Structure 1
């Protein structure tokens, strides 16, 4: 405020002491020292009132400035002082001015209610001067700010009509109020006045666009907004983009709508309405921009509202378009469970079922299709659902359920009969692989009852023959021969091989060799390499068995030259054959070569034994002793031990070393009294004792021998046979008690060693693994029966279940040294690979897995597949992910079995860990589709899919996947894991 001093400058005499307070007050007021200024004015007023010579003009001014100073200093009594001034000086010009000052003060402070009180007084009867227009404008703004638009608008209209600094501002506010009052024409006129006036030029286009939008002047709106959107020139265009997009959307111009919605989202900060989000997503959907449509539909698809249900449905359709079947399944699941839109609900359930089937979730798809028929008996898709249900049966992995379903149908079409043929065949194969041969034959017969597909019929015939062979059924040969009459060369080859072995096992060696030879004439492939190599050896065996020695050697030589496996066996058999031809020196060279070249071969003890026997036959007794001693020392668990001891004893006798021979003969009688060598040992012992002049010792040895080897018909032997029969008759509790009693009564009997095995096995079958392990370990340590290998395998299995893998490894290695049975050896390799994997020795895993793959053949069903998987897992543990994936892919290619499912999962897991989330999801989706019957890996794949979505920050899909797992899994552990993951995601959000 400007303060005048002219009246005081002309009268210096008037500068009395009170006047100094007045001047000081004016000076402090100008310096905005309001509290101090007010004090000076109060001093002035008090001192002036006491004088006779009162300066009325200055006194009034002093009261005015004192009141203002109190107001600006926020004194509590400022309002009272101002009101007092107005009452005391109502006719004074300052009374009007002080209302202006008060109004402006509260206006500037944002206290619009108080501002209104004083501005109303200040503007009452005011002229159109600039100062009056300012007060009116501020009064109107105060009304506006307090939402009193009715009183604000007339004042804005009054101010905008007069040229002033407040004219354009008033036009803007009038336009806004008219807009809010839905007086759109007036609003448009007001706003267009300031369309190019700063600062309103930035905002005005949005207001104009909104007015044209609510007036539904769509063509005019587009003509106005589109040029501005293309060249905004600093204008704010978020609302313009929105209303333009909305107009285009409702005109079905989805290309432009999508374009302007995109621009709107780029400019808009903060939340956007669900309706706009849906229309944006739908515009993208209609213009085939499905990836962006998915992104936008996801924002509202989880809401339990009508628009949420619609968004979920279109999210499902869009996800199908980008080939994200899991996302589609989750979206349709959400849409079908909401009840707002019945049409969408039906569509969603139908699509959910189809996607579930596409993902390989056939049972889930079947359940949904059946629910659809219940929910919509006359539904839009009734016919198509029935067709799909029929098609699903072709590919269903739940074969038995599908078979029962078809068998329950009153009417069966040729298409369903074809499905039945395939389903029964597939179930037969599953049962065959599970060694349920009788049941497999039943299903192959059912498949053959509908011989629609010729190739399938031929396969069913072959596998029925295989199952009959495995079940030792007499009709196996005829079945194989039936396959030979088909046109399928691959199956004919397999049948020749099966017929060859059938005759070989029946000791019809001539017929067996003919079939093996026919097999060798067929096409050779890597998948049948081991069969070809085996056939070469078996032909040699057939000729050896029929004493065609030269022909046998021909095939053994071919096997030694061409085979990758069984070279040691072919060499051994050739050496044996050479002995029959009298070519002992050549044979011995081969026996020696086996032990040198294949030190870990199961035939090393045989080769050493045969070599020792040849040396003995040549009269090289010392050499024979050396070789046989090596065999006895290095292979103490060999079944040839009694024979080796007998031959060494003979060699010692030949060298007149009768004391050494006596020791060996006694060892045979003590440890191997039940063996065929016992009788020879008695004779040899008698001769050796006679030779050293101690014939009297023989009777004592014989008595001891008889004690530990009871004769047939003796009471002791009858007790043993009685106890043993309890075991054979599966009365295991009684067998344990009887056998233990026998051991207590006859602790030195040779039968006690065998009795320990039967006790161990009785405990094992009775599921008392602790006691079983105790007795199996004694059998292995004693090494006095033919049950060492079986005991070692059972003991190893128990140690594995006890997680005592080091002990398991020891037992598996015992099998390798004790057994010549290839099946036992492959089982031991398998156990060693598994145990070494768990204990972290991956190099040993690789060694034994390769042994199974390269040398195991198909002796143990599924061993090759499992070894291939384990090989991949070993490389994965060694962080050689390239090699691991290579081995896993080989596993998957072998068969659609549990090993293939696990291999597929680990590929997905490796990609997840490498943050290749999309690649991982694709692999895991393939797992769910191709291996859905393997529930453990199927469910784990979905849990890992959810982890991948979390890695991609796609929490909608992560949660939807987990919710689907929770709703559909029957595995408590899986459900618990899914719930935990879901809770973790919700906590993150």
Structure 2
């Protein structure tokens, strides 16, 4: 039993030894794997190392080996940026809470994130470390790295506490002091910052940054001498990226020390933040130039300050205004002072800017509001200012300079004094002339009457002269004569035509004796006005002609003919008529033939042919008469003589016994010109023919087809018409209208329907119900060419023009042009046709008629200017700028009022196109100074000025002008939109170099 037990024991022991040997061998392999994993880890083969560490952890029986393997597994996860890395570290701590590697794990993870510049991540793990479990060096490392992580995470106070523990450390002390000083700098604790950073001023690593902060602190502390000294010392060796900011600090330090000559070079070297300056940067440099009296350079900086709204901007704009004045750029100064006056950051600057703005508005004109309003606004704002007296003195003159005569009159009425009352008479004269030129004749009369009360003889006489002129144009010829007669001293420009005007006033009253006297007096004066002299000679001839002194009449006409002057065709015609009236029919025929030969395009040619035919008829030369009449019908088919000629041709054929041909002519008159007097005579003559040939039944059948013939009612028709006509001839307008209306009601197609309609149209036209004349004139013109059709066409066209109804007016004007014989009507037709076609955007036709008008030698200045402006505007619309420029240039010397404003705008426009920007601005200023009341053209020209300034590199002026247009002139939608577009373009460009500009504003 003993051996048996021993054997069993021995077997068991041997078995244990065998198992223990096997376990030892396994553990030895695990240890080897762990060491291999460590080697892989140290060689940064983290993926392979992690796989082995996991295997060791799962298979080892040693707790310490498992702890180490789990530790390194977690470290590998961190190194490999695995998504569960943080969890692995936390799991390690949880699994091995008493491991000495716990703090190391936290520290290592923190260090890893620290090395990869992930401050917030590193802080998370550093905060888990228990410093008490770290040795001294580890604690220093932790404080340094944790301090830096806190710094970059903007936890300045906590970071300072960490760095404070390291300030004397040989390893971390220098870095810690720099960061400690930097944080103090950021906290604006400049004393503490300077104490620390000054110790690093010569440190190779930190001297650049330390000195920069020392420089900046000196500047911010107001130690400008010290800042300039430090800056100049470090600038030469500073890093390139710091030089711009250092130069800015040095420059601004010298600026604050008022050493502007030293400030300028450094301020100029500043490159801005990301290449952009601020308005304040431009101000410093601009003001430095200003103090150095380099005004052009100062302007170049100040004018880059756009849309500024602070005290710096107000001061900049004020000094910009002063610089412009020094550079003799008053218009530019006006804008700058206006801008400064609109801010209240500095009341002293505001008041002085207001004063300069008011004065410059008076001197240069104001595009934003009337100059008097600017001056009155100043007086209201600063009633106690020592400058008020000076501004008050400029106020009246400003009204006159702006041609705001009504404004001056209103002001004088509210500020009466002996001097002002005397001045009121003179201003009333100017206002009256202004209204006269605007063709507001009735409104001008009372102003001229006031002028006649003037103490000054020249003003009084001018008042009488213009009063007479106005009455003349209104048809009050007797009043015109009376006013002309009261002129005691005709020593003024207008009065050189006094005799001519007096003569015409008498002529219009048919007082031919007085007319003759004054026309002769005028001609004796030998005034160098050929057209007026020719006209006076013709009217002198007409005066003799009207008083049957035909010999003298022919002498006057012959003078015009011999000199070949304007109206020679008329003189030739009147001479012929005079010869006829003294019984010399041969001379009459000769004169008429001469007219037809010498003036083939004359409006009197059809008159001459008609008279020639009539004269031949009276001489019994029917063949020559027929020839003359046929030529008239062939060459002047639209002439008013056509119905009379046809009637006379019929009579000639009737007298020769050619009844058939006579009837053809009579019926042609009735068919083509129904309701005309000639048609009625043709019916009567046809009756005689039918009676002669014994075919009364045929007459009866034919006459039934003629609407205007009512044989049975003819006596009543005649009686009713004559009653109305008598009232018309007596100038009893009310009864005449009633009578003609009654006649037309009872005889709408009566014998006298044409006359009744025409006279009724005239009565309505000359009364207060002009438009009521429309159907009556329409009736007349629908009757074809007749003795009234030309006048009816002119009046009906005028009525439609007053309503701006071009669709109805244009066909009438075209017909008037074809049928008219009176020069005045032709000019009226052609001048309005050019306007009508322009209005309808038919520019080629507008140009055609404008050219026709200009070729007429009998047009007045106003009509000629209208033609030139149509040609100019049409050229603009068709982009023919060369032609437009020619016509606008031609108008420049004679145009007045709004037309002058338009010509000045285009003068500026063309100069801008030619890149003559300064000259263009001069023309704009001329417009603003003298024609600002025509606001549309003023605003339009100001857009040109803005473009000019931007081309001249004055962004301030350009944007200020455009911004004011956008704010103040919303009533002009097209100009407002154009200004907005230009403003946005400029701001977008300027925002590339000025960070103070918001291009989206």
1:497 aligns with 2:500: yes
User: Would you say the 8 A contact 1:116–1:143 is kept in 2?
Assistant: no
Match of 2:8 in 1: none
Match of 2:427 in 1: 423
Match of 1:295 in 2: 303
Match of 1:796 in 2: 797
Match of 2:222 in 1: 216
1:117 aligns with 2:123: no
1:141 aligns with 2:148: yes
User: Would you say the 8 A contact 1:753–1:779 is kept in 2?
Assistant: yes
Match of 2:992 in 1: none
**SS of residue matched to 1:583:** helix
Aligned counterparts of 1:324 and 1:367: Cα–Cα separation in 2 = 23
Equivalent residues in 2 for 1:281-430 (5 A)? Answer: 282-283=287-288, 286=291, 287=293, 288=295, 289-300=297-308, 303=309, 310=315, 336=341, 338=343, 340-357=345-362, 358-360=364-366, 364-413=370-419, 416=420, 419-430=423-434
User: Would you say the 8 A contact 1:258–1:280 is kept in 2?
Assistant: yes
User: Would you say the 8 A contact 2:403–2:930 is kept in 1?
Assistant: no
Match of 1:3 in 2: none
Equivalent residues in 2 for 1:81-96 (5 A)? Answer: 83=93, 88-90=98-100
Match of 1:931 in 2: 931
What is the CA distance between 1:318 and its match in structure 2? 5.9
**SS of residue matched to 2:871:** helix
**SS of residue matched to 2:60:** helix
Q: CA RMSD in A?
A: 5.0
Match of 2:603 in 1: 602
Aligned counterparts of 2:149 and 2:674: Cα–Cα separation in 1 = 120
What is the CA distance between 1:426 and its match in structure 2? 0.9
Aligned counterparts of 2:44 and 2:727: Cα–Cα separation in 1 = 121
User: Would you say the 8 A contact 1:540–1:555 is kept in 2?
Assistant: no
Distance 1:795 1:307, change over 3 A: same
Match of 1:176 in 2: 182
**TM-score of the aligned structures, taking structure 1 as reference length:** 0.79
Distance 1:232 1:342, change over 3 A: same
Equivalent residues in 2 for 1:778-927 (5 A)? Answer: 778-783=779-784, 786-797=787-798, 805=806, 808-855=809-856, 857=858, 862-906=862-906, 923-927=923-927
User: Would you say the 8 A contact 1:904–1:923 is kept in 2?
Assistant: yes
Q: What CA deviation, in whole Å up to 9, does each residue of 1:737-763 have, x standing for no partner?
A: x75664353244232123334666788
Q: Equivalent of 1:29, from 38, 41, 65? A: 41
User: Would you say the 8 A contact 1:338–1:345 is kept in 2?
Assistant: yes
User: Would you say the 8 A contact 2:820–2:826 is kept in 1?
Assistant: yes
Q: Which stretch has the larger CA shift, 135-144 or 939-948? A: 939-948
Q: Which stretch has the larger CA shift, 249-258 or 478-487? A: 478-487
What is the CA distance between 1:210 and its match in structure 2? 1.0
Distance 1:576 1:122, change over 3 A: farther
What is the CA distance between 1:815 and its match in structure 2? 1.9
Q: What CA deviation, in whole Å up to 9, does each residue of 1:914-952 have, x standing for no partner?
A: 999887776555434322333554566568878999998
1:101 aligns with 2:108: yes
Match of 1:7 in 2: none
User: Would you say the 8 A contact 2:939–2:965 is kept in 1?
Assistant: no
Q: What CA deviation, in whole Å up to 9, does each residue of 1:26-83 have, x standing for no partner?
A: 3542464545533422331342316xxx9x6x66754542342244345243333564
What is the CA distance between 1:491 and its match in structure 2? 3.5
User: Would you say the 8 A contact 1:205–1:237 is kept in 2?
Assistant: no
Q: What CA deviation, in whole Å up to 9, does each residue of 1:755-784 have, x standing for no partner?
A: 334666788899999986555333212036
Q: Which stretch has the larger CA shift, 657-666 or 907-916? A: 907-916
Q: What CA deviation, in whole Å up to 9, does each residue of 1:79-124 have, x standing for no partner?
A: 335647996454xxx7776565334213223234236437883995
Match of 2:89 in 1: 79
What is the CA distance between 1:615 and its match in structure 2? 4.4
What is the CA distance between 1:573 and its match in structure 2? 4.0
Distance 1:61 1:464, change over 3 A: same
What is the CA distance between 1:501 and its match in structure 2? 2.8
**TM-score of the aligned structures, taking structure 2 as reference length:** 0.78
Equivalent residues in 2 for 1:636-675 (5 A)? Answer: 638-641=639-642, 643-645=644-646, 647-653=648-654, 655-661=656-662, 664=665
Equivalent residues in 2 for 1:407-806 (5 A)? Answer: 407-413=413-419, 416=420, 419-435=423-439, 437=441, 440-452=444-456, 459-471=462-474, 472-474=476-478, 476-477=480-481, 480=484, 485-488=489-492, 490-505=493-508, 506-508=511-513, 510-519=516-525, 521-522=526-527, 524=528, 530-535=531-536, 537-538=538-539, 541=542, 546=549, 547-548=551-552, 551-552=555-556, 554-560=558-564, 563=565, 565-573=566-574, 575-576=576-577, 582-584=586-588, 586-593=590-597, 597-598=600-601, 601-616=602-617, 619-632=620-633, 635=636, 638-641=639-642, 643-645=644-646, 647-653=648-654, 655-661=656-662, 664=665, 707=711, 715-717=719-721, 720-721=724-725, 729=733, 742-743=743-744, 745-757=746-758, 775-783=776-784, 786-797=787-798, 805=806
Distance 1:932 1:544, change over 3 A: same
User: Would you say the 8 A contact 2:461–2:489 is kept in 1?
Assistant: no
Q: Which stretch has the larger CA shift, 328-337 or 620-629? A: 328-337
Aligned counterparts of 1:780 and 1:229: Cα–Cα separation in 2 = 95
Q: What CA deviation, in whole Å up to 9, does each residue of 1:885-906 have, x standing for no partner?
A: 2322333432422332344445
Match of 1:4 in 2: none
Aligned counterparts of 1:722 and 1:458: Cα–Cα separation in 2 = 43
**SS of residue matched to 2:240:** coil
Q: Answer 1 or 2: higher relative contact order, Cα 8 Å, separation at least 6.
A: 2
What is the CA distance between 1:185 and its match in structure 2? 6.1
Q: Which stretch has the larger CA shift, 403-412 or 669-678? A: 669-678
Structure 2: gaps of 5 or more residues: 1-23, 985-998
Q: Which stretch has the larger CA shift, 390-399 or 706-715? A: 706-715
Q: What CA deviation, in whole Å up to 9, does each residue of 1:621-666 have, x standing for no partner?
A: 2342233134245545544345534543454355443443455567
1:44 aligns with 2:52: no
Distance 1:323 1:975, change over 3 A: farther
Q: Which stretch has the larger CA shift, 361-370 or 385-394? A: 361-370
User: Would you say the 8 A contact 2:717–2:751 is kept in 1?
Assistant: no
User: Would you say the 8 A contact 1:539–1:555 is kept in 2?
Assistant: no
Match of 2:991 in 1: none
Distance 1:685 1:267, change over 3 A: closer
Aligned counterparts of 2:740 and 2:480: Cα–Cα separation in 1 = 41
Q: What CA deviation, in whole Å up to 9, does each residue of 1:479-524 have, x standing for no partner?
A: 5567685444x434322332343454432364244234234x23x3
Aligned counterparts of 2:868 and 2:715: Cα–Cα separation in 1 = 52
Aligned counterparts of 2:538 and 2:204: Cα–Cα separation in 1 = 101
User: Would you say the 8 A contact 1:645–1:668 is kept in 2?
Assistant: yes
User: Would you say the 8 A contact 1:483–1:495 is kept in 2?
Assistant: no
User: Would you say the 8 A contact 1:425–1:444 is kept in 2?
Assistant: yes
Distance 1:776 1:390, change over 3 A: closer
Distance 1:799 1:373, change over 3 A: closer
Aligned counterparts of 2:561 and 2:141: Cα–Cα separation in 1 = 119
Distance 1:151 1:513, change over 3 A: closer
Match of 1:269 in 2: 274
Distance 1:39 1:350, change over 3 A: same
Q: Which stretch has the larger CA shift, 234-243 or 544-553? A: 544-553
Match of 2:9 in 1: none
Distance 1:887 1:709, change over 3 A: farther
User: Would you say the 8 A contact 1:99–1:122 is kept in 2?
Assistant: no
User: Would you say the 8 A contact 1:362–1:397 is kept in 2?
Assistant: no
Number of aligned positions between the proteins: 937
Match of 1:969 in 2: none
What is the CA distance between 1:555 and its match in structure 2? 1.4
Q: Equivalent of 1:66, from 66, 73, 77? A: 73
1:961 aligns with 2:961: no
User: Would you say the 8 A contact 2:93–2:102 is kept in 1?
Assistant: no
Distance 1:985 1:549, change over 3 A: closer
